C-alpha cells in the first residue's frame, strides 16, 4: 500500500509577505497614476490660465491703442501763460476780477502709474442719440486675481451738462492755464453773480462706475510709458510742457516769441506686464496713435500784434497775420 505524496502549502507568514508586496506594488502604481493625473491637470490649468491671460493682454493692448487725445474732440479755448502763479494772482487782484480755479470736468485725459491706467475711448451705440459715447475707463488688477475694466464716467454726458451750465449762467468756460511746476492750474473769470461752482452743478451726472472682468488668474499688472525718449513709471497727459523755438540760453532768445506751451498728451508707447498666479510673466508693448497728435496742442504765447493804421497801409494789399488762438474743438 503506497503512502500518499507530500502536499505543499504557504504558511501564514508567506501569505502576509505576499500581500504586503502586492500592496506596495499596487500603491506605487496608483501613486504614479495619481502623480501623472495631477501633472496633467496642472498642465491643463496652466495652459488655460496662460491662454486666458494672453487674450486679456491682447484686449488691454487693443483698448489702449484706441485711447483718444484731447485734440480729437472739443476742448476749452484756454490761454496758456508762461508766468508765475503769484504774479498772476497779484495781477488779478489789481484788476478786481472775480475768478475761479477749476479743471475742465469733461477733459479727455490719459493718466497712468505702475498698477493702473486711465484713458478715454469712443464707443458706438447704434439706435441711440447721439450714436456714440466717450467713456473714461480704467484698467487695473483686483485683489481677488481679476483683470478689470472699469467704465468711470461718460464724458459726453458731462460735457453736455457743462454746455447747459454755460447756457444757464451765460458763462465763458475758457480760461487761463498757469504751469505750476508742470501741473496745470486753470482759472476762468466769473461773469454772473448767481453762478454756482461748475462741479456742484454737474454733480454725479455722467458717472457710471461699471466694471467688467477681462480675465482671471492675474496677480498683478504693471505699466510703463514713453514718448520715444525715455521710459516713465507714471504719465499725465495734462502736464504742461514748455518748448522753445530758440534755446533759452541763446543771446537771441526772446521769451515773448520763442516760448511754446502745450499739454503732454498721451504716450506714444505703453509697456504692459502681467504676473499670473502661477508666477509666469507675460508682457507686450503697444503703440498709441493719438500720442503723436501733438501738433495742434502748441500754444503761441506771443502777444497780439498792435493794430495797424489803415491809412498807412492804403497803398499795400498784403494782409497782416496775427497769431492763431488756442486750439479747440
- Taking the C-alpha atoms of residue 107 and residue 311, their distance in angstroms, rounded to an integer, is 45
Indicate the DSSP class of residue 295.
G
Supply the Cα-derived Rg of the chain in whole angstroms: 34
* CB distance 149 to 142 below 8 Å: no
Q: Which residue would you say has higher pLDDT here, 137 or 262?
A: 137
Of the pLDDT bands very low, low, confident and very high (cuts 50, 70, 90), residue 105 is confident
pLDDT band at 320 (very low <50, low <70, confident <90, very high): very low
Please tell me which residue, 252 or 296, carries the higher pLDDT value.
Answer: 252
CA max distance for the chain: 161
Measuring CA to CA, which residue among 288, 282, 242 is closest to residue 264? Answer: 242
Write down the domain spans for the chain: 14-300
Q: Map residue 267 onto helix, strand or coil.
A: coil
- The dihedrals phi and psi of 295, each to the nearest 5 degrees, come to -65, -40
| Most confident option among 3-7, 70-74, 222-226 | 222-226
- How far is the C-alpha of 213 from the C-alpha of 173, rounded, in Å? 37
Cα three-residue angle 231-274-154, rounded to 5 degrees? 80
C-alpha count within 13 angstroms, C-beta hemisphere, residue 295:
1
Of 120, 126, 98, nearest in space to 107 by CA = 120
> What mean pLDDT comes out for the span 251-280?
84
Whether 56 shows a pLDDT value over 60: the answer reads yes
pLDDT digits (tens, 9 = 90+) for 179-218: 776 677 788 888 788 888 899 999 999 999 999 999 998 9
Q: Is 67 exposed, middle or buried (0-12, 13-18, 19+ CB in 10 A)?
A: buried
pLDDT (0 to 100) of residue 282: 92
For residues 223-235, average pLDDT? 92
Residue 2 has pLDDT above 90, yes or no: no
Query: Under DSSP, is residue 193 helix (H, G, I), strand (E, B) or coil?
Result: coil
Confidence of residue 47 (pLDDT cuts 50, 70, 90): confident
Please give the Cα distance from 228 to 230 (Å, whole number): 6
Q: Return the pLDDT at 44.
A: 66
Q: pTM of the full predicted structure?
A: 0.73
Q: What pLDDT does 314 receive?
A: 42
Amino acid at each position: 500500500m503506497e503512502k500518499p505524496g507530500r502536499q505543499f502549502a504557504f504558511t501564514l507568514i508567506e501569505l502576509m509577505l505576499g500581500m504586503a508586496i502586492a500592496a506596495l506594488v499596487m500603491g506605487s502604481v496608483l501613486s504614479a497614476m495619481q502623480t501623472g493625473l495631477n501633472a496633467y491637470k496642472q498642465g491643463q490649468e496652466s495652459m488655460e490660465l496662460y491662454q486666458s491671460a494672453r487674450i486679456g493682454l491682447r484686449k488691454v493692448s487693443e483698448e489702449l491703442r484706441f485711447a483718444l487725445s484731447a485734440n480729437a474732440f472739443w476742448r476749452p479755448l484756454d490761454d496758456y501763460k508762461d508766468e508765475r502763479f503769484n504774479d498772476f494772482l497779484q495781477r488779478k487782484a489789481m484788476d478786481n476780477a472775480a475768478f475761479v480755479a477749476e479743471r475742465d470736468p469733461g477733459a479727455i485725459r490719459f493718466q497712468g502709474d505702475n498698477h493702473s491706467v486711465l484713458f478715454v475711448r469712443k464707443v458706438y451705440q447704434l439706435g441711440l442719440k447721439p450714436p456714440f459715447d466717450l467713456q473714461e475707463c480704467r484698467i487695473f488688477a483686483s485683489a481677488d486675481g481679476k483683470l478689470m475694466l472699469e467704465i468711470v464716467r461718460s464724458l459726453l454726458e458731462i460735457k453736455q451738462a457743462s454746455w447747459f451750465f454755460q447756457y444757464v449762467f451765460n458763462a465763458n468756460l475758457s480760461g487761463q492755464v498757469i504751469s505750476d511746476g508742470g501741473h496745470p492750474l486753470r482759472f476762468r473769470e466769473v461773469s454772473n453773480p448767481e453762478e454756482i461752482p461748475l462741479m456742484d452743478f454737474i454733480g454725479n451726472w455722467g458717472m457710471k462706475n461699471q466694471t467688467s472682468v477681462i480675465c482671471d488668474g492675474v496677480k498683478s499688472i504693471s505699466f510703463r510709458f514713453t514718448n520715444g525718449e525715455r521710459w516713465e513709471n507714471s504719465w499725465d497727459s495734462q502736464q504742461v510742457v514748455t518748448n522753445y523755438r530758440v534755446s533759452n540760453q541763446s543771446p537771441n532768445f526772446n521769451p515773448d516769441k520763442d516760448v511754446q506751451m502745450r499739454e503732454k498728451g498721451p504716450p506714444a508707447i505703453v509697456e504692459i506686464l502681467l504676473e499670473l498666479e502661477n508666477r509666469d510673466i507675460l508682457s507686450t508693448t503697444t503703440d498709441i496713435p493719438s500720442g503723436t497728435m501733438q501738433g495742434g496742442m502748441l500754444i503761441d504765447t506771443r502777444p497780439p500784434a498792435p493794430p495797424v493804421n489803415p491809412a498807412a497801409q492804403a497803398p499795400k494789399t498784403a494782409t497782416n497775420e496775427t497769431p492763431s488762438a488756442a486750439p479747440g474743438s
